[in-house]
C-alpha cells in the first residue's frame, strides 16, 4: 500500500476505531450495570437511562415504598404515627440512599436521617404547597442535592401532616458510579490501544524501512559497497530503497571499473616497460657494439644497424598501438565509413599480404563465397587494422614448419562472416574468454619472445563493434585458432560517404 493511502487509512482508523471500540465497551458496561441495578434494587431501566437520566432511576428506587406510605397516609393516617411501621419502611430505603420524615403541623414526629433533614429542612414546603400530581418529586439544589417526594394528609385528630421520602442525590448509586469509572478507564485504554496500534503500524511501514535505508547509507559512507538494501514494502519508501539499491550497484560498478582501469593501467605500464625494455636492450647492446668497434666488418656493421632499425621500429609500432588504443577507448576515432565491395576489398588485401606470408613460409588458402556485388559499410583503414591484427597474431603464433592460413568469407543473410584460421599453437581454453580484453595476453605468449601489447584484439573488437558486427575466437591448443568476425551488409540508404563519426552512425 502506498504511503499516502496508508496515511489516509491511519486517519480513518484513528477516528473509527476508538468510536467503534467505545460503542462496544459502553454498550457492554451499561448493559452490565443495568442488570446490576435491576438485581440490586428491582428497578427496570434501560441502558440509555443510566447515562441520560440517573435522577429518574433514583426516583424509581423509592417509588414502591413511597406508594405504600402514600396509601397509608391517605387511608390509615394513624399508621404514620406508628413508629414501628415507619421504621420498617425507612429501613427499606436506607440502601436506596433515602429516608422518611413525617411532619405533623410544624413539627417532625419521625425523621429517618436527622443530619440530612437539617440540610434541607428550610427548603421543604408547607402543607398544601406540594402538588399531588407530581409523581417524580421535587429536586432541591444546594450544597447537597436531594429529591423530595411529599404527600399531604390529615392525621386522625384532623391535624395537617406531610410525609416526605427524601433521596440523597449526591450519593450516586454505585452502579452508575461504576459505569462512569469504567467508561473513563475504557476511553483511556481504547485511546492508548489505538495509539499503540497506529504507532506500530507506522513504525513498521515507515521507520523500519527508513532504518534499513539509514544503515545502508552508513555502510556506503564507510565504503562498504557490498551491503545491499532490501525492502519488502511496495510503497514510496520501498521505491526509495530500490532506487538506493540501484544507485549502490551502479556506484559499485563504477568503482570496480575504475579500480579495474587502474589495475589495467598499472599492468599496461609494467607490460610496456617490459615490452620496450627488450628492444631497448637490443638497441643499446648493438649501438655499444658499433661504438666499441665490435662490428669490424662492413657486413657486421650493416647487420648491427639493421637490428637497431628493426627494434626501433618494433618500439614505434608498440607506441602507436598504445596511442591508438587510448583514442579508441575514449571514442575519439573519426571513422570514415563508406560502402565497399567486400569481394574486391578482400581480394586486394590477400594480394598485399600474399608476398609477405610467402616469405614466412605460410600458405594462404582463400575462399570467398560472397556474391560479387555484396557491399558493406566500413571504414577501410580501420577494417584493414582488424585484418592485420588477426593475421599478424596468426603469423606470430604459427609454430609448425609449414604455416597454413585459411581465410573464408561467407554470406549469412544480413551479415558477411569472415573466418581467419591458422595452424598455430592455439589458445588454452581458459584464456579464450579473455583474449579480447585490453592488455590480456595468454601466459604462453607473455612468456614467449613473440612481443605484442595485448591490445591488438581489444582494438579489433572495438572496431568491429563500432561497425555493428561481432567478433569471437575458437581454438584447439596445438592445432590452431580461428578468429571470426561479422560485418553488416549495406542497405544503401544508410550510408553517407566520408562521414566522420565515432562509429555508431552507420
**DSSP per residue, 389-405:** HHHHHHHHH--SSSEEE
| Contact call for residue 454 and ligand ADP (CB under 6 A) | yes
| Contact call for residue 445 and ligand ADP (CB under 6 A) | yes
Instruction: Please report how close the Cβ of residue 408 comes to ligand ADP at its closest, in angstroms.
Output: 15
Closest CA to 436 of 395, 404, 474: 474
Instruction: Please report how close the Cβ of residue 432 comes to ligand ADP at its closest, in angstroms.
Output: 9
Q: Pattern of binders to ligand ADP over 151-190, x per CB under 6 A?
A: ----------------------------------------
CA distance readout (Å), 26 to 29, 32, 37, 58, 340: 5, 10, 16, 21, 93
CA distance readout (Å), 274 to 37, 281, 451: 106, 11, 10
Nearer to ligand ADP, 113 or 389 (CB): 389
Instruction: Please report how close the Cβ of residue 263 comes to ligand ADP at its closest, in angstroms.
Output: 17
Q: Which of 104, 441, 462, 489 binds ligand ADP (CB under 6 A)?
A: 441
Instruction: Please report how close the Cβ of residue 396 comes to ligand ADP at its closest, in angstroms.
Output: 6
CA-based torsion, 477, 479, 480, 484: positive or negative: negative
Instruction: Please report how close the Cβ of residue 476 comes to ligand ADP at its closest, in angstroms.
Output: 11
**Per CB under 6 A, which of residues 388..417 are in contact with ligand ADP?**
389, 393-394, 397
Nearer to ligand ADP, 393 or 417 (CB): 393
Applying CB under 6 A, which part among 74-82, 166-174, 198-206, 387-395 lies near ligand ADP? 387-395
Applying CB under 6 A, which part among 29-37, 91-99, 122-130, 455-463 lies near ligand ADP? 455-463
- How many residues lie near ligand ADP (CB under 6 A)? 22
Applying CB under 6 A, which part among 64-72, 119-127, 336-344, 421-429 lies near ligand ADP? 421-429
| Contact call for residue 506 and ligand ADP (CB under 6 A) | no
CA distance readout (Å), 435 to 63, 318, 323, 468: 110, 18, 20, 20
Can you tell me the distance from the alpha carbon of 492 to that of 478, in angstroms, rounded to the nearest whole number? Answer: 43
205 with 6: CB under 8 angstroms? yes
Nearer to ligand ADP, 377 or 442 (CB): 442
Question: Which residue reads 535505508 in cell numbers?
Answer: 213
Q: Pattern of binders to ligand ADP over 467-486, x per CB under 6 A?
A: --------------x-----
| Contact call for residue 435 and ligand ADP (CB under 6 A) | yes
Instruction: Please report how close the Cβ of residue 398 comes to ligand ADP at its closest, in angstroms.
Output: 8
Instruction: Please report how close the Cβ of residue 365 comes to ligand ADP at its closest, in angstroms.
Output: 16
* Three-state SS annotation for 222-290: CCCCCCCCCCCCCCHHHHHHHHHHHHHHHHHHHHHHHHHHHHHHHHHHHHHHHHHHHHHHHHHHHHHHH
Query: Within a 13 Å sphere around the CA of 177, how many CA atoms are in the beta-carbon half?
Result: 6
CA-based torsion, 334, 340, 342, 347: positive or negative: negative
Can you tell me the distance from the alpha carbon of 17 to that of 192, in angstroms, rounded to the nearest whole number? Answer: 11
Can you tell me the distance from the alpha carbon of 345 to that of 225, in angstroms, rounded to the nearest whole number? Answer: 51
Q: Which of 457, 463, 464, 471 binds ligand ADP (CB under 6 A)?
A: 457
Applying CB under 6 A, which part among 20-28, 97-105, 332-340, 449-457 lies near ligand ADP? 449-457
Closest residue to ligand ADP, based on beta-carbon distance: 452
Count of CB atoms situated within 10 Å of the CB of 33: 24
Q: Which of 50, 425, 471, 506 binds ligand ADP (CB under 6 A)?
A: 425
Instruction: Please report how close the Cβ of residue 403 comes to ligand ADP at its closest, in angstroms.
Output: 11
| Contact call for residue 137 and ligand ADP (CB under 6 A) | no
Pairing of strands 335-341, 471-476: unpaired
Binding site for ligand ADP (CB under 6 A): 389, 393-394, 397, 422, 424-427, 435, 440-442, 445, 452-458, 481
Amino acid at each position: 500500500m502506498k504511503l499516502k493511502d496508508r496515511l489516509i487509512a491511519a486517519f480513518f482508523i484513528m477516528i473509527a476505531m476508538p468510536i467503534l471500540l467505545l460503542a462496544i465497551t459502553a454498550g457492554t458496561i451499561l448493559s452490565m450495570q443495568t442488570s446490576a441495578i435491576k438485581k440490586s434494587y428491582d428497578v427496570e431501566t434501560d441502558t440509555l437511562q443510566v447515562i441520560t437520566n440517573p435522577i429518574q432511576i433514583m426516583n424509581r428506587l423509592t417509588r414502591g415504598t413511597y406508594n405504600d406510605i402514600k396509601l397509608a397516609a391517605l387511608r390509615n393516617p394513624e399508621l404514620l404515627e406508628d413508629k414501628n411501621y415507619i421504621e420498617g419502611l425507612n429501613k427499606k430505603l436506607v440502601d436506596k440512599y433515602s429516608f422518611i420524615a413525617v411532619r405533623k403541623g410544624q413539627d417532625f414526629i419521625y425523621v429517618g436521617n436527622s443530619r440530612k433533614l437539617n440540610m434541607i429542612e428550610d427548603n421543604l414546603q408547607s402543607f398544601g404547597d406540594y402538588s399531588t400530581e407530581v409523581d417524580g418529586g421535587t429536586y432541591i439544589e444546594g450544597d447537597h442535592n436531594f429529591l423530595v417526594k411529599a404527600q399531604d394528609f390529615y392525621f386522625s385528630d384532623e391535624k395537617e401532616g406531610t410525609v416526605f421520602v427524601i433521596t440523597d442525590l449526591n450519593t450516586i448509586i454505585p452502579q452508575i458510579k461504576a459505569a462512569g469509572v469504567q467508561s473513563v478507564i475504557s476511553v483511556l485504554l481504547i485511546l492508548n490501544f489505538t495509539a499503540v496500534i497506529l504507532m506500530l503500524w507506522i513504525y513498521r511501514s515507515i521507520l523500519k524501512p527508513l532504518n534499513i535505508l539509514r544503515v545502508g547509507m552508513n555502510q556506503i559512507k564507510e565504503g562498504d559497497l557490498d551491503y545491499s538494501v532490501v525492502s519488502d514494502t511496495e510503497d514510496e519508501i520501498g521505491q526509495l530503497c530500490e532506487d538506493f539499491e540501484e544507485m549502490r550497484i551502479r556506484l559499485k560498478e563504477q568503482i570496480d571499473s575504475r579500480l579495474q582501469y587502474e589495475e589495467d593501467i598499472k599492468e599496461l605500464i609494467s607490460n610496456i616497460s617490459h615490452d620496450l625494455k627488450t628492444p631497448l636492450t637490443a638497441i643499446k647492446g648493438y649501438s655499444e657494439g658499433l661504438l666499441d668497434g665490435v662490428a669490424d666488418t662492413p657486413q657486421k656493421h650493416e647487420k648491427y644497424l639493421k637490428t637497431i632499425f628493426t627494434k626501433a621500429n618494433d618500439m614505434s609500432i608498440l607506441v602507436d598501438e598504445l596511442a591508438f588504443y587510448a583514442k579508441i577507448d575514449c571514442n575519439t576515432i573519426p571513422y570514415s565509413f563508406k560502402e565497399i565491395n567486400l569481394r574486391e576489398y578482400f581480394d586486394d588485401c590477400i594480394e598485399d599480404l600474399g608476398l609477405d606470408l610467402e616469405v614466412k613460409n605460410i600458405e594462404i588458402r582463400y575462399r570467398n563465397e560472397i556474391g560479387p556485388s555484396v557491399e558493406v559499410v566500413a571504414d577501410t583503414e580501420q577494417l584493414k587494422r582488424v585484418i592485420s591484427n588477426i593475421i599478424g597474431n596468426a603469423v606470430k603464433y604459427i609454430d609448425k614448419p609449414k604455416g597454413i592460413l585459411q581465410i573464408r568469407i561467407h554470406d549469412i543473410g544480413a551479415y558477411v562472416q569472415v573466418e581467419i584460421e591458422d595452424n598455430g599453437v592455439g589458445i588454452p581454453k581458459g584464456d579464450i574468454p579473455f583474449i579480447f580484453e585490453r592488455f590480456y595476453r595468454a601466459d604462453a605468449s607473455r612468456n614467449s619472445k613473440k612481443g605484442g601489447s595485448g591490445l591488438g584484439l581489444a582494438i579489433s573488437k572495438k572496431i568491429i563493434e563500432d561497425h555493428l558486427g561481432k567478433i569471437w575466437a575458437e581454438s584447439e591448443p596445438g592445432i590452431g585458432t580461428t578468429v571470426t568476425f561479422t560485418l553488416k551488409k549495406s542497405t544503401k540508404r544508410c550510408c553517407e560517404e566520408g562521414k566522420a563519426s565515432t562509429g555508431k552512425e552507420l
